[in-house]
Amino acid sequence: MAKYTPMMEQYMKIKAEHKDAFLFYRLGDFYEMFFDDAIKASRELEITLTQRDPGQKEPIPMCGVPYHAADNYIRILIDKGYKVAMCEQVEDPKTAKGVVKREVVQLITPGTVMESNMLREGENNYIASLSHFKDGSYVIVYNDLSTGENRIALLSHGWDTVIHELYNQPIKEIVVSSSLPEDLQRQLRDRLHVTLSYQDEVNFNAEYRNLCENLNDERLMKSFSRLLNYIQFTQKRSLNHLQQAEVIELDHYLSLDMYSKRNLELTETILKKGKHGSLLWVLDKTVTAMGSRMLKKWLERPLLNKQHIEKRLQIVDGFYSGFMERDTLRETLKSVYDLERLAGRIAFGNVNARDLNQLKQSLEKIPELIETLKQFEQEQIKELADRLLYPKHLIDILHSSLVDDPPVSIKEGSIIKDGYNETLDNYRDASRNGKKWIAELEQKEKQETKIKSLKIGYNRVFGYYIEVTKANIHLLPEGRYERKQTLANAERYITPELKEKEQLILEAEEKSVELEYTLFIQIREQIKEHIPQLQHLAEVVSTIDVLQAFATVSETNNYKRPRFAENKLSIKNGRHPVIEQVMKDGSFVPNDISLDDNKNILLITGPNMSGKSTYMRQLALTVIMGQIGCFVPCEDAELMLFDQIFTRIGAADDLVSGQSTFMVEMLEANHAISNATNKSLILLDEIGRGTSTYDGMALAQAIVEYIHNNIQAKTLFSTHYHELTALEETLPNLKNIHVRAEEYEGNVVFLHQIKDGAADESYGIHVAKLADLPEALIERASSILSQLESTDKPAPTTEKIEAGQLSFFVEEKLTAKKEKVSVSHNKVINELKQLNLFEMTPLEAMNELYKLQKDAKK
């Protein structure tokens, strides 16, 4: 083995324990990285790669960042999913013998960042742990280290449900056992884009006993321990803001599979991946970051329990009608800071006096909040007020101790109020008196020496001095002062008395700065004791904020309070909450919908771009809004409580998993069919599109029949296969509806109105016209179409079509037609082959023959 210097030996030893992290190795004012870390970091951080001579032939690649600017570099690495191990000097270099002792004091990982500049305000930052058990069950634990939240869910229906559950949550990192099968690990990485970390130790750390008192299942305990042990390993300190684990009973919530979460664009849009254009974007009228985070959680887990929903609606109703009071409420809420994250940072130990002042200001708002809430009529709102406990004790501590406008640093004094601590007051008196004495001395010396420009100054090197300009030196009596320093045009002097006072002042100042720091830490520790109370307050304040947001958005956008019925649903003049906002001009066309046990499947036909998909999503979004306790976009709504929503919407490729559109389509359909109940809502939008016409149509029909006969879920099924509208005759619970479009002077006009019955025409060419395809091309397509419609022969293909790639479009239609011809012939022959003539009466044979001939003529 190559021989390295003792320091490099130390580096190698520490690095060996942190192979999967960048090791930020503290050397003086820099964090240095070596070897592969250095090469990779120089690329990722765009910093210069240098070399360090280790005392052998091969120099060591090296790069570094200044310690005071390290935060930014760390953030870049964390954002890219890396981990950073902070390795500090843990003894004083001046007194160290040999190489200064160094240790990793914190491992910063994407899921465990605490620094506010690395977190998004209105968004949680989860680290999760996932554990698998021999009985086939999985346990997921969510933790947000910045807020202390812990939630835990047991999933006993296989791996798929794990992916559906984890999908679309703001999870940055998942801690798993190294024995989790490799292909499952890969799925987590590829489909969820998270950093995977490993922790095999699942024994419970007694320090955290109080966090799991409510867990009575060993599997939950193990998975929770996995996460807590990992947090302990990375943070290397005990964190007393971690909250008791809340068990999520998944069957208490409306479940949305990952396809619905994505397709319905609840919290982010598919294409831009941003909040703008999502349902969250419309509904988020919260005024605090805590409220915004809670709203997102509610959206992802709508309720199932009618009483709980009604309770929320009742409060929203109250906030809705008391708009003056609501305004006051919103104003008050605006001055409440992020209590949840403040609590987290207090526990973590990285708050300054300004943060604590924010805490004080926020807490001082509580009485005002209570006051405002009590003005509303609703009992439920008054109850909310009762849950807000005024933390007088905390406010007293903060009020008596901290000055109003403290500096950022907690190590330079000027943060503690006079009168808070006697010793500190004494130091301050000493320093103030000393300074006063010096000011008086200056006056006295001026008078006695008659040198008006004489002054007493201070600098760090010489301390206090008396300064006399060269022009006035002749006025000084010999030996009055002791000369200390000569400048170009002045002399500086001291006296023993001056130095004595200086000593007193400096000592007092130094001591008072030290004492202020100690006192600040004490105050912080005192506040720490009250973290659970802060977290409780945060929870109530967030709830109030979300519910007032519902009232505000309901009023602004004219939503109505829904009622709930059993197994039927009827909405009058419903609207799509997002599209209506995007259109802004009020031109969105409202539509009715009704579903009940007799008619639980709606088969929707209509031309492209007429509004089929919009209509379907509109229903799902309305259902979700109702079940989170918000009013809904319509004139009147009677909803039912759905247990699950399944969707298959749009033709967007599943880029994430790299599967083909058709495969995804079938997976989504299968997921719906195998999990839906008669209390579920299924949206199937143009299913079967991804394969050849007959193949697709056959599948689509079979799927509808299956749902109709075996599941009886409420289902919206849009299709471009007009043939399917015939199902209305054979499936009693299916009803045809269509989106109306009219032809006006050769153009198609979309009215976006839903009507009973099937649509009669396909308006594809008109849509192409709307899209401004060349006129010659449109004419050509029209003539091909009429030929196709009048004869069964393929249209001549000799005519040259200008734009190369467009010929594909026409050819596709032709092949489809050809395919149709040969398929129908094959069908006749197949059926003929299968006839069992010996078991037929002559009349039956005659009937069959008649049918075959009819088919053959098609």
Residues that bind ligand ADP (CB under 6 A): 579, 588-589, 606, 608-614, 752
The response to whether 607 counts as a known ligand-binding position is yes
Q: How far is the CB of 607 from ligand ADP (least distance, A)?
A: 7
Q: How far apart are CA 583 and CA 577, in angstroms?
A: 10
The response to whether 650 counts as a known ligand-binding position is no
* Residue 613 interacting with Mg ion (CB under 5 A): yes
Q: Which stretch binds Mg ion (CB under 5 A): 254-262, 349-357, 612-620, 796-804?
A: 612-620
Read off the tokens for 146: 């910045």
User: Given the complex with Mg ion, which of 493 and 615 has the nearer CB atom?
Assistant: 615
* Residue 610 interacting with Mg ion (CB under 5 A): no
User: Given the complex with Mg ion, which of 491 and 685 has the nearer CB atom?
Assistant: 685
Q: How far is the CB of 367 from ligand ADP (least distance, A)?
A: 47
Q: How far apart are CA 526 and CA 394, in angstroms?
A: 9
Give the angle subtended at the CA of 259 by the CAs of 284 and 119, to the nearest 5°.
Answer: 45
Q: Which stretch binds Mg ion (CB under 5 A): 55-63, 383-391, 482-490, 610-618?
A: 610-618
The response to whether 101 counts as a known ligand-binding position is no
Q: Which does 738 bind (CB under 5 to 8 A by kind): Mg ion, ligand ADP, none?
A: none
User: Given the complex with ligand ADP, which of 78 and 578 has the nearer CB atom?
Assistant: 578
DSSP-assigned states of every residue in 593-618: EEE-SSS-EEEEE--TTSSHHHHHHH
Q: How far is the CB of 558 from ligand ADP (least distance, A)?
A: 16
Q: How far is the CB of 589 from ligand ADP (least distance, A)?
A: 4
CB atoms within 10 A of CB 209: 9
Read off the tokens for 844: 């039956």
Beta-ladder partners of 143: 127, 150
Q: How far is the CB of 220 from Mg ion (least distance, A)?
A: 43
Phi, psi (degrees; rounded to nearest 5) at 369: -60, -45
Site size for Mg ion (CB under 5 A): 2
What are the E-state strand segments in 17-76? 22-27, 30-34, 50-52, 60-66
User: Given the complex with ligand ADP, which of 360 and 752 has the nearer CB atom?
Assistant: 752
118: closest CA among 80, 149, 86?
80
Beta-ladder partners of 744: 747
User: Given the complex with Mg ion, which of 648 and 735 has the nearer CB atom?
Assistant: 648
Q: Which does 675 bind (CB under 5 to 8 A by kind): ligand ADP, Mg ion, none?
A: none
* Residue 736 interacting with Mg ion (CB under 5 A): no
User: Given the complex with ligand ADP, which of 158 and 757 has the nearer CB atom?
Assistant: 757
Amino acid at 712: Q
**3-class secondary-structure state, position 641:** coil
DSSP-assigned states of every residue in 789-858: HH-SSPPP--S--SSGGGHHHHHHHHHHHHHHHHHHHHHHHHHHHH--GGG--HHHHHHHHHHHHHHHH-
DSSP state of 750: E
Non-local CB neighbours of 822 within 8 Å, separated by 6+ positions: none
Angle between helices 353-364 and 496-528 (to 10 degrees): 50
The response to whether 616 counts as a known ligand-binding position is no
Chain-centre distance for alpha carbon 141:
16
Beta-ladder partners of 246: 151
The response to whether 318 counts as a known ligand-binding position is no
* Residue 647 interacting with Mg ion (CB under 5 A): no
Q: Which stretch binds Mg ion (CB under 5 A): 295-303, 481-489, 613-621, 768-776?
A: 613-621
User: Residues for the chain: how many in total?
Assistant: 858
Q: How far is the CB of 753 from ligand ADP (least distance, A)?
A: 8
Chain-centre distance for alpha carbon 523:
33
The response to whether 360 counts as a known ligand-binding position is no
Angle between helices 70-79 and 35-45 (to 10 degrees): 90
Q: Which does 428 bind (CB under 5 to 8 A by kind): Mg ion, ligand ADP, none?
A: none
The response to whether 629 counts as a known ligand-binding position is no
Q: Which does 588 bind (CB under 5 to 8 A by kind): Mg ion, ligand ADP, none?
A: ligand ADP
Q: How far is the CB of 770 from Mg ion (least distance, A)?
A: 15
User: Given the complex with ligand ADP, which of 300 and 668 has the nearer CB atom?
Assistant: 668
The response to whether 613 counts as a known ligand-binding position is yes
| Closest residue to ligand ADP, based on beta-carbon distance | 611
User: Given the complex with ligand ADP, which of 539 and 592 has the nearer CB atom?
Assistant: 592
* Residue 614 interacting with Mg ion (CB under 5 A): no
Q: Which stretch binds Mg ion (CB under 5 A): 443-451, 501-509, 608-616, 820-828?
A: 608-616
Q: How far is the CB of 690 from ligand ADP (least distance, A)?
A: 16
User: Given the complex with Mg ion, which of 300 and 685 has the nearer CB atom?
Assistant: 685
* Residue 512 interacting with Mg ion (CB under 5 A): no
User: Given the complex with ligand ADP, which of 124 and 605 has the nearer CB atom?
Assistant: 605
Q: How far is the CB of 576 from ligand ADP (least distance, A)?
A: 7
Q: How far apart are CA 343 and CA 801, in angstroms?
A: 69
**3-class secondary-structure state, position 94:** coil
Q: How far is the CB of 621 from ligand ADP (least distance, A)?
A: 13
| Closest residue to Mg ion, based on beta-carbon distance | 613
> Using a CB cutoff of 8 Å and minimum separation of 24, what contacts does 496-502 make?
497/441, 498/438, 498/441, 498/456, 498/464, 498/465, 498/466, 499/463, 499/464, 501/434, 501/437, 501/438, 501/464, 502/434, 502/463, 502/464
User: Given the complex with Mg ion, which of 26 and 766 has the nearer CB atom?
Assistant: 766
Q: How far is the CB of 718 from Mg ion (least distance, A)?
A: 6
Q: How far apart are CA 694 and CA 820, in angstroms?
A: 8
Kindly list the residues in this chain that would bind Mg ion in the complex (CB under 5 A). 612-613
Positions at the binding site: 606-613
Positions at the binding site for ATP: 606-613
